[in-house]
Each structure stands twice: as structure tokens, then as C-alpha cells.
Amino acid sequence: LHTLGYCHGIENYSRHLSGKLPGEAPDPLLSYFPWKDGKPDFLTIIDESHIAVPQIRGMYNGDRARKNVLVQYGWRLPSALDNRPLKFTEFQSRVGQVIFTTATPGDYEREHSKQVVEQIIRPTGLVDPEIEIRPVFDKEKNYSQINDVILEVERLAAKQERVIVNTLTKKQAEDLSAFLNQKGLKANYLHSDIKTFERTDILKAFREGVFDVLIGVNLLREGLDLPEVTLVAILDADREGFLRSQTSLMQIMGRAARNVSGKIILYADKVTDSMKNAINESRRRRDIQLKYNAKHGITPKTIIKTIESLLGLEDERAEKEEDNNKKTYGKRKQPAKGRGGRDGKK
């Protein structure tokens, strides 16, 4: 900075500009929230905490591992290590009262919560969907889970209803989508290799009925409200692991809880502990919901959600594309005076 007046990647060396000591925690946005009597004087709400908490816990180590390599090979100076996320203990010391919101609380939330408040009753009266277990492969009938999915898609497509199929890998999602299209069904897939704006187009087309079945891996777990979906089919549900844990299964099954006719099919040759726990929890909630509806005379209604709610993202994309075009091509040049315009005059 003294020699040239500038430094590439100056944000990496913020420690020198903020007067921090080596190893001292940086000042994120949380540092600017109010404190009273030596304690944080604000409320923190962590949405989808079953994902957010592990991410906050792992940010420091992930950042440190990446920057150690950069420092080792000379791409960054050692002080760049202090431009980092907070350690989990540092984060905990900077937040006061916390509300964790999630459909599937993890061990951390349960251990650190004084009270667990369940929102089982939905305003629409909808209940958790019915769950059915079917075999991955029936040797006697020579009949596989894919054959069964095809029949279910054909049946529901005739009623203008949608199906979500959950696979274990992106390759499976792509191959199954191609196979179903070859069979004359309208299918598409959604996974992390697809850009954000393209995902919006796919979800919008899915809701509009451009295709009847959407196949995905992990992106179809949480945060999607698709009222047209009446069936969620989970392939290889007995393959125990991250994508077939109790939390994952319950998140996936929740995609069918927006429609009165919602149903879950788990394709499995055995019942794993994760399946058993997820099914038991879903049935517990369903029983409570049914009793509440019967007691208060509530008739469940499918969620009404306009497809136009996705258009905000499309407008944002259009604006970004326009800005990019301006940066790339600049403003359209106007014909110079005296050098010929549209009328051909000199």
C-alpha cells in the first residue's frame, strides 16, 4: 500500500486495517447489534436450523483449510488467515436469546432449548400424508420400483396432478428423466448443477403442468411449496445414509403435505431405523391433526399459491441480463451528425 497505493485482495488483510491482534475474532454484522449489561440485547432467529447450525459450526474449519493451502503456496500472506468466519464458540457468545425454526430439529437444538414448541396443526387443516412401503424389486412379478413409478405417474398425470421422485444421485435423476420421457411421460430433473434461475424456470413449468414428474436428489428436500404435488416417491429408501436419514426422509415427505390428496411411497426391501422413526413421527403428527380436525369440524383444504409468486425472480434475472448486456456492449451508438443517418444524407 505504501509503495504502490493499492493491494490486490485487500479485504483478505482486514486485520491490519481494523487494528486486530493475530488470531483475534473479526467483527461481523453481529458485532454491531446492541448489548445491555454485558449481554446481547437482541433476538436471533435461525431458520432451517437443522442445516444452518451445522453450517455455522463448520464454516471456520472449512475456511481455514482452504486458506492454509493459499498461504502455504504463497498466494496469500499469513495474516489473511484472520479474515475468517467466526468459530462456533465465538458465534454462541455473540447471540443472546435464540429461536430455532425447523421441521426436523437436531440434537443441538434439543439440547440447548428450554422449550420445544410444535406447530403440528396447519391453518389449512391439512394433515401429514399417508405413507406406503413398496418393494424395490419384486422377484415373483419381475417388477421394479421404476415400473411402479411409471404406473403412478400415468395415473396421476391423467388427473392433472404432479409427482416428485427422489433419487440418490444426480446421474440417477438424469437417467430416470430421460427414460420416462422415452416412455412418453413428461419428466424433468432438478439438481445442484442447474443454475438458480434455471431452477426457477423448471419449478414454474412443473407447477404449470408443462411436465408431470420432477426428479431430484437434495434440492427437493426443504423450502419448496408445490401444492400440485400429490405423490412423493422415494427410491431406494432403505439405503441408510445422509440422504436417507430420518431428517432427510421427513423433509422429503413434507413436499406432499401441501395437497389434500398427498401420499408418500417409500420403495424399500427392508425397514431401516431411519425409515421407522420417520414413519412413526409422521403418523404421530397425522393422528393429532385428524383428531383436531374432527373435534373442530375442520375440512382440510389444499394450499392455494399463485404461480406468479415466482415472477419476482424472473424480473430480477431480466434486470441482471440487461445490466450485463450494457456492460458487455455498452449503449447503442447513435449515428454521428454529418456522417450519414437513416436517410442516407451526408
- What is residue 340's predicted lDDT score, i.e. its pLDDT? 42
- What is residue 337's predicted lDDT score, i.e. its pLDDT? 44
- What is residue 327's predicted lDDT score, i.e. its pLDDT? 53
130-296 folds as Rossmann fold (3.40.50)
Q: Per-residue DSSP letters for 262-328?
A: -EEEEE-SS--HHHHHHHHHHHHHHHHHHHHHHHHTPPP------GGGGHHHHHHHHHHHHHHHHHH
Q: Which residues are paired to 214 by β-bridges?
A: 164, 188
Placement of cell 444426480 in the chain:
170
Each residue of 41-73: pLDDT tens digit?
Answer: 999 999 999 889 999 999 999 999 999 999 999
- What is residue 111's predicted lDDT score, i.e. its pLDDT? 92
pLDDT < 70: residue spans in the chain: 220-223, 308-346
In the three-class reduction of DSSP (H, G, I as helix; E, B as strand; rest coil), residue 231 is classed as strand
- What is residue 97's predicted lDDT score, i.e. its pLDDT? 94
Contacts of 5 by beta carbon, 8 Å cutoff, 6+ apart: none
Contacts of 232 by beta carbon, 8 Å cutoff, 6+ apart: 129, 163, 164, 165, 166, 252, 253, 255, 256, 262, 263, 264, 265
- What is residue 336's predicted lDDT score, i.e. its pLDDT? 44
pTM above 0.95, yes or no: no
Query: Residue 225 CB: number of other CB atoms within 10 A?
Result: 13
CATH 3.40.50.300 in the chain is located at 10-112, 130-296
- What is residue 329's predicted lDDT score, i.e. its pLDDT? 46
- H or E stretch at 43: strand 43-47
Q: Which residues are paired to 101 by β-bridges?
A: 47
CATH class of this structure's domain 10-112: alpha beta
- What is residue 61's predicted lDDT score, i.e. its pLDDT? 95
- What is residue 311's predicted lDDT score, i.e. its pLDDT? 45
Each residue of 64-107: pLDDT tens digit?
Answer: 999 999 999 999 999 999 999 999 999 999 998 999 999 888 88
Of 261, 260, 221, nearest to 244 (Cα)?
221
- Report residue 26: phi and psi, to 5°: -75, 175
In the three-class reduction of DSSP (H, G, I as helix; E, B as strand; rest coil), residue 311 is classed as helix
- What is residue 1's predicted lDDT score, i.e. its pLDDT? 83
* Separation of alpha carbons 282 and 336, rounded Å: 72
Q: Which residues are paired to 99 by β-bridges?
A: 45
- What is residue 242's predicted lDDT score, i.e. its pLDDT? 83
